[in-house]
Amino acid sequence: MTENLEQQTEEFHLLDPRTIKLWRMNYLIGFGIVILATLAAVISIGYAAAEARIWLAIGWMALTAICLWFSFWFPPRLYRSWRWRIDAKVLELRHGRLIERTRLIPLARLQHVDLERGPLERLFGLASLVIHTAGTHAASTTIPGLDAETAARLRDHLVEIGGDDAV
């Protein structure tokens, strides 16, 4: 991050590298619940049907392995697809592995900006910025995985320059 946000015109910024860890943790927790729930189901079915036990166990282990693998494999790739930049007029974000989405928001259209920090994000010193416009499909835009300090500065900057529209 350079000091002056307004001077960053051309180059894209990546998210904070800690985001990879955050996303891995998120996936592990999410999948963990699924895996535990399936384990409970597998045990209760296996208790009743002795002959299916081995297949249930194999199935459950395969599911666990896939979930674990995905949790480690996917976040770095998603991370590399994410980039954003801001100049005096436009905020631009780009992300997506399979379908790449680019969104450009004229800064004059900002309605309000939220800074969000969940418990995990706080743990990693990260924050998400949620930018609201009066639009329909793109009414709110999230930049995840920003360094907390960068996020706060970016928010202050956006609040200062944007949102001078009559509402």
Partner 1 sequence: MPFENLTPPPVLENLGHGVKVFEGRLHPLTLVIGLTKYGRALIPAIALVLFGNRWAGAPLLFFTLAGLVATFIKYFFFRYRIENGELITQEGLIEKRQRNIPLERIQEISIEQGVLHRLLGVVDAKIETGSGSGAEASLSVLSRAEADKLRQMVFAHAAAIRAGKTPTEENSAVEVVAGEAESVVVCRLGVKDLIVAGLTSNHLLSALALAGAVWNFADDLLPDAIYAKTGKLISEEATHLAAQGIEWAIVVTVAGIVAVALIGILFSVVGSVVLFYGFTISRRGDDLQRRYGLLTQRSSSLPRRRIQVLEIEEKALRRLFGWATLRADTSGRSREDSDDNKGRDVLLPIVSVRELDGLLPNVFPDVNLADGEWRQVSSQSVMRETLELGLVCLVIVAALFFWLGSWWTLLPLALVPLTYWLYGISYRQLGYALGEAYLRTRRGWLGRSTHIVPINKIQAVEIHQSPFDRWWGMASLSVDTAGQAFTGGGPQISNLPVAEARELARMLASRAAVTEYKW
Contact range with partner 1 by CB under 8 A, out of 17-25, 44-52, 115-123, 129-137: 129-137
**Alpha-carbon gap, residue 81 to 15, rounded angstroms:** 10
- The binding track of 34-73 with respect to partner 1, each residue x by CB under 8 A or -, is ----------------------------------------
Q: Is 96 left (phi over 0), alpha (psi -120 to 50) or beta?
A: left
CB of 93 to partner 1, least distance (A): 10
Contact range with partner 1 by CB under 8 A, out of 37-45, 106-114, 117-125, 151-159: 106-114
Give yes or no for a contact between 130 and 138, defined as CB atoms under 8 angstroms apart. no
18 near partner 1, judged by CB under 8 A: no
Strand partners, 129: 115, 143
**Alpha-carbon gap, residue 166 to 50, rounded angstroms:** 70
Task: Summarize as ranges the residues that interact with partner 1 (CB under 8 A).
Answer: 89-90, 92, 98-109, 133-139, 141, 164-167
